């Protein structure tokens, strides 16, 4: 329930942010303890979906105006508004590969995650049910699953059908939270290609997916309330949260604090609060995005049922990951470079957007300046990623060999993948991480960190399904039978 005055000054649970990490945590908490009183503090405004579609943007607050930057210029993209990234996201939802969780042991690159694929699997399945994900059963071969996808896969394009026949173990329908079939809340995706502001509401958002949280009378949400810092009563406990609202500073007390303000603002809040963990704020990352257009010779494509239809794993996993990063390829069903101009060939084009895993660099980091503002220091992506890029561009023609390819046009690097990650990584020990495998701060035991900031490596897949599953698990560990 959105409120415009604060009824109480003390809450059992205070949640910072209302994005993926925060909402899925609260969803699970309400399942386990339906009557618990929760206060959610959201920096951005509440914007109905109709307003977002009508105005053509998710929030009037630009992400790059919320922090300062030094070093190599780079665009970090996120939404500051009620619902966070559930508003703007494209709704692609692959799971991480089982080997992504142990890339330190297997490939000597980065850290192992403090939990395994099998530990997270039931929560992946639960998150997929909540979001009514559409996906193919045969993807089980790469990412094993205990429950079928709630919705059938999207219709493949002509390109995907050829790739699937030639590479049945590598090419799959891309899982997504864009409806394949209509549900009570969402119509069927009609492939209109403006997913940030989906005109028909076919993708999962807070507005069509978490009405029970928005309506719950024991979940109070204050919007345009910017959390400044967390207050500690002792070195091991948070006692309250300080925030700015309607031009004044306020304080609320809490028994448990859930921090989900994204991978730039969550570390900034902890730094302003005097936390000094060695890895706090370090390892900010996202994948390196690379785009190509494939001009097709005589093959009319773009007959799939959503904006992106194919996922290809040819460059994803293997011993090569000791030397170069994993790559996840997304085959689009739209035409970001326009239709072909030649008479009769307008649909003979294919856009492929691939994401290359980066290696965490502690010099890519978030700090705060004297005014308390978040500052991003960026020194660039790793040589590990560059080697993968070089290999990809050289070997892409072999992977695309089943297609009638006229020419591959390198469209260059994407300015962002829109995935801010790292900075409060999870791990087994305080020396290599900020939070433990249950996402609880190693020393401050009533502080849970949620969202993509806890990711200790940069897998090549989109991160939000994983952030959702992690939140369900963290809430279960904290409030469920095992707690
Ligand atoms: C254009 C775009 C397309 C994307 N497409 C995909 C996709 O297809 N698949 C995918 O998996 N991911 C996608 N993402 C990424 C996805 O949005 C993020 O991975 C996800 O939102 C991260 O979840 P989070 O909980 O960490 O942060 P968020 O969802 O960003 O939530 C953080 C919340 O904290 C609030 N906040 C920030 N600072 C404060 C403060 N000081 N006080 C109070 N509140 C605060 C924010 O307003 C926000 O509500 C996309 C992102 C963008 C921008
Ligand atoms: S492709 Fe169109 S209908 Fe489908 S989710 Fe995107 S904007 Fe909505």
- DSSP-assigned letters across all residues of 364-387: SEEEE-TT--EEEEE----HHHHH
Neighbours of 102 (CB within 10 A): 15
Atom 6 in ligand 2: residue holding the nearest Cα: 195
* SS3 at position 220: strand
Of 188, 183, 190, 224, the C-alpha closest to 81 is 224
Asked if residues 293 and 409 have their Cβ atoms less than 8 Å apart, the reply is yes
Question: Parallel, antiparallel, or unpaired for β 365-368 and 349-356?
Answer: unpaired
Ligand 2 centroid – CA 152 distance (Å): 16
pLDDT of residue 483: 62
DSSP-assigned states of every residue in 146-172:
SS--SBPPPPPPHHHHHHHHH-TTTEE
**Strand partners for 353:** 291, 330
Tokens for 430, please give them: 């305080």
* SS3 at position 145: coil
Report the alpha-carbon angle 145-151-153, nearest 5: 85
Q: Ligand 2 pocket check: which of 133, 194, 304 to mutate, most ligand atoms within 8 Å of Cβ?
A: 194
Say how far apart CA 209 and CA 204 lie, in whole Å. Answer: 6
pLDDT of residue 481: 75
Say how far apart CA 261 and CA 251 lie, in whole Å. Answer: 17
Ligand 1 atom at minimum distance from 226 CA: 42
pLDDT of residue 193: 83
Q: Indicate whether residue 207 lines ligand 2 (CB < 6 A).
A: no
**Strand partners for 355:** 289, 328
Q: Indicate whether residue 47 lines ligand 1 (CB < 6 A).
A: no
Q: Which residue has the tokens 């010099």?
A: 363
Tokens for 368, please give them: 């705060």
Task: Kindly list the distances between the CA atom of residue 283 and the CA atoms of 46, 357, 366, 424, in Å, as whole numbers in the listed order.
Answer: 31, 13, 9, 8
pLDDT of residue 192: 85
Backbone torsions φ then ψ of 316, nearest 5 degrees? -90, -55
Question: pLDDT tens string for the chain (483 positions)?
Answer: 999 999 899 999 999 999 999 999 999 999 999 999 999 999 999 999 999 999 999 999 999 999 999 999 999 999 999 999 999 999 999 999 999 999 999 999 999 999 999 999 999 999 999 999 999 999 999 999 999 999 999 999 999 999 999 999 999 999 999 999 999 999 999 988 899 999 999 999 999 999 999 999 999 999 999 999 999 999 999 999 999 999 999 999 999 999 999 999 999 999 999 999 999 999 999 999 999 999 999 999 999 999 999 999 999 999 999 999 999 999 999 999 999 999 999 999 999 999 999 999 999 999 999 999 999 999 999 999 999 999 999 999 999 999 999 999 999 999 999 999 999 999 999 999 999 999 999 999 999 999 999 999 999 999 999 999 999 999 999 999 766
Q: Ligand 1 pocket check: which of 75, 85, 417 to mutate, most ligand atoms within 8 Å of Cβ?
A: 85
Ligand 2 centroid – CA 65 distance (Å): 28
Q: Which ligand is nearest to the CA of 199?
A: 2
Of 410, 365, 376, 389, the C-alpha closest to 460 is 389
Of 472, 470, 468, the C-alpha closest to 19 is 468
**Strand partners for 435:** 426, 441
Q: Indicate whether residue 406 lines ligand 1 (CB < 6 A).
A: no
What number of residues does the chain have?
483
Atom 26 in ligand 1: residue holding the nearest Cα: 451
Ligand 2 centroid – CA 190 distance (Å): 6
Atom 12 in ligand 1: residue holding the nearest Cα: 464
pLDDT of residue 310: 98
Ligand 1 centroid – CA 308 distance (Å): 20
Angle between helix axes 20-32 and 464-479 (nearest 10 degrees) is 30
Say how far apart CA 394 and CA 327 lie, in whole Å. Answer: 14
Superfamily for 10-154+175-284+363-379+418-479? FAD/NAD(P)-binding domain (3.50.50.60)
Helices then strands, each counted (H, E), the chain: 11, 16
Tokens for 389, please give them: 């890029």
Host H or E run for residue 334: none
Q: Which residue has the tokens 């026949």?
A: 165
Q: Indicate whether residue 194 lines ligand 2 (CB < 6 A).
A: yes
Neighbours of 394 (CB within 10 A): 9
């Amino acid at each position: 329930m959105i409120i415009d005055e604060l009824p109480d000054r003390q809450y059992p649970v205070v949640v910072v942010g209302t994005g993926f990490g925060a909402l899925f945590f609260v969803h699970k908490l309400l399942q386990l303890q339906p009557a618990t009183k929760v206060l959610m503090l959201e920096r951005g405004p509440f914007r109905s979906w109709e307003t977002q579609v009508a105005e053509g943007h998710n929030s009037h607050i630009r992400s790059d105006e919320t922090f300062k930057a030094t070093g190599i210029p780079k665009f970090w993209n996120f939404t500051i508004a009620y619902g966070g990234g559930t508003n703007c996201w494209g709704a692609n939802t692959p799971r991480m590969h089982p080997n992504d969780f142990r890339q330190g042991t297997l490939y000597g690159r980065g850290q192992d995650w403090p939990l395994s694929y099998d530990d997270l699997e039931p929560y992946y399945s639960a998150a997929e049910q909540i979001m009514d994900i559409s996906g193919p059963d045969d993807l089980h071969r790469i990412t094993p699953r205990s429950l079928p996808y709630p919705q059938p896969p999207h219709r493949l394009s002509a390109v995907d059908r050829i790739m699937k026949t030639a590479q049945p173990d590598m090419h799959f329908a891309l899982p997504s939270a864009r409806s394949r079939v209509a549900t009570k809340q969402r119509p069927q995706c009609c492939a209109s290609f403006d997913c940030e502001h989906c005109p028909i509401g076919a993708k999962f958002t807070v507005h069509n997916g978490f009405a029970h949280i928005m309506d719950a009378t024991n979940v109070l949400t204050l919007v345009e309330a910017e959390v400044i810092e967390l207050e500690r009563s002792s070195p091991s406990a948070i006692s309250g949260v300080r925030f700015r609202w309607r031009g004044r500073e306020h304080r609320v007390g809490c028994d448990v604090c859930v921090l989900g303000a994204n991978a730039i603002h969550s570390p900034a809040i902890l730094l302003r609060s005097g936390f000094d963990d060695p890895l706090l704020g370090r390892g900010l990352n996202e994948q390196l995005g690379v785009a190509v257009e494939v001009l097709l010779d005589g093959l009319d494509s773009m007959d799939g049922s959503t904006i992106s239809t194919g996922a290809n794993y040819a460059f994803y996993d293997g011993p090569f990951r000791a030397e170069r990063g994993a790559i996840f390829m997304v085959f689009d069903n739209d035409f970001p470079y326009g239709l072909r101009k030649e008479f009769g060939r307008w649909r003979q084009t294919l856009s492929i957007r691939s994401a290359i895993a980066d290696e965490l660099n502690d010099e890519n980091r978030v700090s705060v300046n004297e005014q308390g503002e978040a500052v991003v220091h960026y020194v660039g992506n790793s040589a590990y990623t560059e080697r993968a890029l070089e290999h990809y561009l050289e070997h892409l023609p072999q992977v695309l060999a089943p297609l009638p390819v006229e020419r591959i046009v390198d469209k260059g690097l994407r300015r962002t993948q829109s995935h801010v990650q790292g900075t409060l990584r999870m791990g087994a020990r305080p020396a290599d991480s900020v939070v433990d495998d249950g996402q609880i701060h190693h020393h401050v035991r009533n502080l849970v960190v949620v969202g993509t900031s806890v990711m200790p490596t940069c897998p090549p897949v989109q991160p939000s399904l994983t952030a959702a599953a992690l939140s369900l698990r963290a809430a279960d560990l904290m409030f469920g039978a095992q707690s």
